[in-house]
Structure 1
Amino acid sequence: MSGDRTPAAAPNDAALQAKIERLHAFVADIAGRHATIKFASSLAAEDMVLTHAILSHALPIGIFSLNTGRLHAETLSMIDRVRERYGYEIEQLHPQADAIDEYVGTHGLNAFYESVDLRKRCCEIRKVEPLNRALAGVDAWVTGQRREQSVTRAELHEEEHDATRNIAKYNPLADWSEGEVWAYLKAYDVPVNPLHARGYPSIGCEPCTRAVRPGEDSRAGRWWWESRDSKECGLHVTTIQFAPNATQAPTSA
């Protein structure tokens, strides 16, 4: 079943407004902390919240998206919609053609269905390597992750240290609910991916994403043939929180 998963009820107006003001102030503060900072956008709902927060306030945060070569047409169309609405050209990062050719030639175009290792290798080629190129030389990056999205993100912090790249990492929407995300989008008339209205709360590559069923978490449609605790592509690593005496050890997410 793939009904519209966009929440109909908005949070309390006063509470939402306070949360929006805090978000805008936080994102502006992040922009002021670093000489170079980038936002990795999947062009899905959460990331469109941050896109609006950044572009509507003309913040010096570069926005890029990973064009894996396997995205839905609806997702790719969001590049044009952002350009039309905000006059901003989102940078697109593509995988290395030779790495794609080697993977497909050795394993097959859709080998990611065969094992977690082959799926993660595909994600490494199409997502992680381009991400590393996008973040080379920057001081910090921003994501649209939320704790509510899945069990692998339950301990997500707003501020982290990306130990892999030795840069700061921010998740401004960490404590936002799905309802608050959609209330923001509706309040500011932000463009959204039409796949959301067809039951896709989390959107990745077309062959690896399906609509979710009633009662499933928002990332159940990602790599649906795998167990819940393996549903990450390697883009994100949970690391220590920026806090005095933080002792949390890095764990893969």
Structure 2
Amino acid sequence: MDLNHLNSALASLDAAERLKYICSQFESGVVFSTSLGQEDQVITHLIARQHLPVSVFTLDTGRLFQETYDLLDRTIARYKVQVNIFFPDASRVEAMVNEKGPNSFYESVENRKECCFIRKVEPLNRALKGARVWITGLRAEQSENRHNLSYAEWDGTHQLIKINPLLDWTLDQLLVFIEKENIPYNKLHDKGFPSIGCKPCTRAIEPGEDIRAGRWWWESSKKECGLHQETAK
């Protein structure tokens, strides 16, 4: 499919229409990865409300907040959707922890990226196997790495089309929609956590800080875990 044509079509639609349009263009192989963040909860809501044929999955790293698991339960109960859960390979986690300890990610960027790869990237690769379209909750406003994204992009790593239906949404727009539609969300958002990942790698942010400042806060580099690294570039 021509990405320029696809981007032009998506640009003229709202988020719900973008999702519906994508499903009309691809009869199968459309998947959505949810981290249960605010953006992803909105997308889950739009998929469920329109009864779209999208396969939904999430990655359980083994080190998530209890509030995230609670939200997963509430989301499944509310929307009656199947959320497929992908775990990291146990033998690789065991080898890493036995060799370097349970908190090796604090010691270097290399160690942190290794942990992210084992707990996130490799399970994602399995989850995306055979998919044709990958829907994400990326927004341009989230970080400088994401300012130049498009609604539809080619992901060379996974050999599929990546769709960002909320790309042009602001945080205020997102929060208003969540409140209006009574969408379930992670209670940590009310405690200063705008971006929520693994528990040891996420903290609340201070007033005025960037919304991604609480992720891997001990690092000063452009902070991505590798899930969206190619597209972010």
**TM-score normalised by length of structure 1:** 0.85
Q: 2:24 aligns with which of 32, 36, 52?
A: 32
Q: Deviations for 1:12-31, whole angstroms, at most 9, x for unmatched residues?
A: xxxxxxx9x71111110112
Asked if 1:89 corresponds to 2:76, the answer is: no
Measure, in 2, the Cα distance between the counterparts of 1:193 and 1:185.
11
- Counterpart amino acid of residue 210 in structure 2: D
Q: Aligned to 2:189, what secondary structure does the other structure show?
A: helix
Q: 2:123 aligns with which of 127, 130, 134?
A: 130
Query: What is aligned with 2:226?
Result: 234
Q: Structure 2: which 5+ runs fail to align?
A: 1-10
Q: 2:179 aligns with which of 186, 202, 205?
A: 186
- Counterpart amino acid of residue 208 in structure 2: G
- Counterpart amino acid of residue 187 in structure 1: K
Query: What is aligned with 2:202?
Result: 209
- Counterpart amino acid of residue 224 in structure 2: E
Structure 1 vs Structure 2 CA RMSD: 1.3
Asked if 1:105 corresponds to 2:93, the answer is: no
Q: Deviations for 1:107-166, whole angstroms, at most 9, x for unmatched residues?
A: 111100000010000000000000000000011101101111112212121110000011
The answer as to whether partners of 2:23 and 2:53 remain within 8 angstroms in 1 is: yes
Identity among equivalent pairs (%): 47
- Counterpart amino acid of residue 176 in structure 2: A
Measure, in 2, the Cα distance between the counterparts of 1:160 and 1:219.
23
Moved over 6 A (4+): none
Q: Deviations for 1:85-116, whole angstroms, at most 9, x for unmatched residues?
A: 11123111100000000000111111000000
**TM-score normalised by length of structure 2:** 0.92
Measure, in 1, the Cα distance between the counterparts of 2:56 and 2:82.
8
